[in-house]
Structure 1
Amino acid sequence: MNRCLLLSWNIRGLGKFEKKATVRNLVKKTRAKILFLQESKLQEVNGKIAGQLFGKHSSFNYCFSSSIGSAGGIITSWDPDFFEIENRLIDRNYIILIGKLVKENIRCCLVNVYASNDDSHRLQMFHALKNNLFDFNLPVILGGDFNVVSSTEERSEGSVNKVAIRNFNSFIEELAVIDLPLHGSRFTWSNYRDNPSFSRLDRFLLSTEFLRVWLDILQSAFPKGISDHNPICLAILNTCWGPRPFKWFNHLADDNEYVEQIIEAYNMASREGIEKMLKKCKLVSKAWVQSKSGNSIQEMEKRCAEIEEIIVKGNYDQ
């Protein structure tokens, strides 16, 4: 399974124990480090509810934005070993965590978004959220239910509000964030009617800084299950290429310094058995090659530059 970093889900209410158990099982299955929940419809989240969501002995921390009546409600939770929080900003439509990704040593903002389905209210939220993020001036990961599509292709049928699409794309462009391709499903929401319509309302948006840290990052959708929204996951692709092979080239034996180091390594480990002797020679060989490769690369780059200059000069002379 891929390594899940962030999991986001518009859960459409967390009043029933079965829904809390479903969330807990998905977090356990994916081993997500950050959880964004939208539309919890909860006015209060306490330790008991947190235990039902993450397990009684979970180390997850959490914060929430209360619902207004049965509308809204956002919950953000995180593993403190993965993310160290410095501050938070809680709004009716989003929660911003400011802190540091521990392993990557990156200060950033994590934003759980639950946008209004009213165009004017959603646009106001985009402006407010954008201004807050500009003030923090940090790389950002936004995830959640944006309640708007970014293109006509993200809706299966029916009319599309092109002004809302344009406003959403302006928000994405001004924040300079990237919307990765979605794997697992083309859409993330359905109205479950006799003639259903589908839309992609849920997504992650992230700054380009994270693409340099997580090279194989992707976002994917899981089956809807108990909600009319798909859970979406921001994950790192686990590709196993097997053990890295050790390469040895004949020309290495032409260097006397290299040969002397291998002979010395052989003599030191020859009485410890063939396996340890070969391992010792391998380590010495790799260290010697690495110590020489920097100079070799610089020499090759210099030589390439000289050849290129000769070619360019020859073309001009002609």
Structure 2
Amino acid sequence: MILLTWNIGGLEKAGKRRKMKEVLNERKVDMVFLQETKRAEISEELLWSLWPGVEMDFVVVALDGSSAGLLCIWKPSAFELSRCCCNRNFILLSGGDFNEIRNIGERKGCSRGERGMKNFNDFIYRMEVTELDMLGRKYIWCNVAEGEKWSKIDRFLLSPKWLLMFKFKVWGFPRRVSGHCLVVLMEDTRDWDPRSFRFINAWVLHPQFISIVKKAWEETVVSSWARYKIFPKLKAVKASLKQWNMEVSGDVNHKLKVSEDELYELDPIAKSRDLDDGELVRRRELREEVLKWSKRKEWLWLQKSRLSWTLNGDKNTKFFHSIASGRQNKNSLNSLTVNGNVIEDPVIIKEEVYRHFRCLFLETWKVRPKLGGVFKSIGSNDKVELEAAFSETEI
């Protein structure tokens, strides 16, 4: 899925529309948000002159005073319009030119208003939307004539529900037909292979956790020096925890849903008659299970978001998920520049990262230097005193 937002500065020129059509076709865009169309009326014939697909649906806000016009076009096979809210200032608040920055680092050589930044950030907070960091470029708009003023005023604001469903990346591309760069929101479908093992704090809530770790540790017998013994033991514990997580502790969402559904089935029964002893016991067990799985789910996303606080009594799992997704997007390695060439293939990126650090830590000495000489050492009496427990007088 690929979405694009673009301040095109007018649709009057046929040459500009042809150029836009080439860009949309090249990027295989599913939905485009256009700002400053500068047209009082937009015909379907004009739309086909800039849309590359064989099908389309659209919403238009025409030129009206200071509002320069908005246009949204999409593929009906990719999106189905259920509700539409628009006026002279916005269409379907998903992405576009907001003409405002969030911090002073998003503007260079331009005047800035502290009040406007504060109001914009407050608006984002109240709407409960998330902005993904843009890759490829720092600024979006430039005054074409002088090239000395830069701003980041175009952006995508996403609902946390979208982050639950898709793995999005936001890319900034070069300016083509206006002073604004292309901003593309696309789903990252690249395969990075299995992730490295990570310990999940929620595991310690399970009563079997300690016994699983202890069993894997004790059953792994290694006859070697002490430093080497720990490696195969940790490897065995990791394998046991991964298998145990898939069989018992994994799929928290499914187990939570099953417990909640069974608990809800008892509600209509309790309304029609008194529950018997067995049903009362089962309802109490289900309530405990729902509480247990809800707590594990919240702990899981709290750890992934790496927040240093919890909201007491508030099951804000969606908030933790949005923070974790944003952090993952910010820290991920999306591309590398090697010898002037941009590489995005995960396989080649891994090879280049391996080659870089291998050269960085490669030891060139064939024979390591040795330290010789006469050194002073402590005696047996001093050793005993150093290893002795603290006395009450010393404390």
1:239 aligns with 2:235: no
- In the TM superposition, what are the counterparts of 1:27-66 in structure 2 within 5 Å? 27-55=24-52, 58-66=54-62
Contact 2:154/2:183, CA 8 A, preserved across alignment: yes
Kindly indicate whether residue 97 of structure 2 is the aligned counterpart of residue 94 of structure 1. no
Cα 1:225–1:295 shift into 2, 3 Å = closer
Relative to structure 1, the CA distance from residue 153 to residue 60 in structure 2 (aligned partners, 3 Å threshold; closer, same or farther) is same
CA distance in 1, matches of 2:177, 2:54: 23
User: Which amino acid counterpart does residue 210 of structure 1 have in structure 2?
Assistant: W
Match of 2:114 in 1: 162
Instruction: Report Cα offsets for 1:270-295 as digits up to 9, x if no partner.
Output: xxxxxxxxxxxxxxxxxxxxxx9789
| Residue pairs, 1:147-296, within 5 angstroms | 147-194=99-146, 196-215=148-167, 217-241=168-192, 296=247
TM-score for both structures, normalised by structure 1: 0.59
> 1:194: Cα distance to partner?
3.1
Q: 1:42–1:70: 8 Å Cα contact kept in structure 2? A: no
Q: Distance in 2 between matches of 1:10 and 1:298?
A: 49
- Compute the TM-score of the two structures, normalised by the length of structure 2: 0.48
3-state secondary structure, aligned to 2:139 = coil
1:9 pairs with 2:6? yes
Please list the CA deviations of residues 42-86 of structure 1 after superposition, one character each: whole Å capped at 9, or x if unmatched.
11111210110114x620111211113695011111111111112
User: How far apart, CA to CA, are the structure 2 residues paired with 1:211 and 1:174?
Assistant: 18
CA–CA distance in structure 2, aligned partners of residues 9 and 62 of structure 1: 15
The answer to whether the 8 Å contact 2:110/2:150 transfers is: no
Q: 1:225, CA displacement in angstroms? A: 1.1
Structure 2: where are the runs of 5+ without partners? 195-242, 253-395
Return the structure number with greater strand share.
Answer: 1
SS of 1:92's partner is: coil
- Per the TM alignment, residue 193 of structure 1 is displaced from its structure 2 partner at its CA by 3.6
Report if aligned partners of 1:12, 1:227 keep a CA contact under 8 Å in 2.
yes
Q: Distance in 2 between matches of 1:295 and 1:71?
A: 55
CA distance in 1, matches of 2:96, 2:247: 49
The SS at the match of 1:194 is: coil
- Name the aligned partner's letter for residue 113 of structure 2: N
- Paired with 2:190 and 2:17, the residues of 1 have a C-alpha distance of 32
Tell me, yes or no, if the aligned pair for 2:67 and 2:89 is still in contact at 8 Å: no
Distance 1:52 1:294, change over 3 A: same
Call closer, same or farther: CA 1:296–1:9 in 2, change over 3 Å.
closer
Change (3 A) 1:197 1:59: same
Map of 1:286 onto structure 2: none
Q: Which amino acid aligns with 1:168?
A: F
Residue among 52, 57, 63 paired with 1:67 = 63
Task: Give me the CA root mean square deviation.
Answer: 2.6
Query: How far apart, in 2, do the equivalents of 1:295 and 1:177 lie?
Result: 32
Q: CA deviation at 1:159?
A: 3.0
Q: Which amino acid aligns with 1:10?
A: N
Match of 2:248 in 1: 297
Q: 1:5: Cα distance to partner? A: 2.1
- Which residue does the alignment assign to 2:267? none
Describe the SS at the equivalent of 1:222. strand
2: CA distance, partners of 1:183 / 1:147 = 20
Cα pair 1:14 1:40 within 8 Å, conserved: yes
User: Radius of gyration: which is bigger?
Assistant: 2
CA distance in 2, matches of 1:70, 1:175: 25
Q: Tell me what 1:122 maps to.
A: none
Q: How many residues align?
A: 204
Is the contact between residue 41 and residue 69 of structure 1 (CA under 8 Å) also seen in structure 2?
A: no
Shift, 1:214, TM fit: 1.2
Q: What's the CA shift for 1:151?
A: 0.4
SS at match of 2:126: helix
- The residue type equivalent to 1:9 in the other structure is W
**Structure 1 unmatched ranges of 5 or more:** 97-110, 112-141, 244-291, 302-318
**SS of residue paired to 1:86:** coil
After superposition, the C-alpha distances for 1:114-153 in whole angstroms (9 at most, x for unaligned) are xxxxxxxxxxxxxxxxxxxxxxxxxxxx200000111000
